[in-house]
Amino acid sequence: MVPTKERNVSGIYLDHKGEGILIDCGEGTQRQMNIAGINRLKVKKILISHWHGDHMGGLIGLLQTIGNIEKEDKHLLLFGPKGSKQKMEHLMKATYFYEKIDLEVRELDPKGVEKFHEEEDYHLECTWLEHSVPCLGFSFVEKDRRKINMEKVKAVGLKPGPLVGKLQEGKTVDFKGKKIKPEDVSFVVKGKKLTVIWDTVFTNACLALAKDADLLICESSYAADLAEKAEEYKHLTTQQAGFIATQANVKELITTHFSQRYKTAEQLEEEVKTFFKNSRCAYDFMKVKV
Q: Classify the C-alpha dihedral 153-155-161-162 as positive or negative.
A: negative
Q: How far apart are CA 107 and CA 85, in angstroms?
A: 7
SS3 letters for 234-246?
A: CCCEHHHHHHHHH
Q: Are 156 and 180 in contact (CB under 8 A)?
A: yes
Positions marked active-site: 54
Residues 6+ apart with CB under 8 A from 5: none
Residue 141: how many other CB atoms lie within 10 Å: 18
> Alpha carbon of 230 to those of 34, 131, 208, 233, 237: distances in Å?
33, 11, 21, 5, 7
Residues 6+ apart with CB under 8 A from 200: 129, 130, 131, 135, 137, 206, 219, 234, 235, 236
Which residues are paired to 145 by β-bridges?
A: 189
Q: How far apart are CA 228 and CA 226, in angstroms?
A: 5
Helix (H, G, I), strand (E, B) or coil at 139: strand
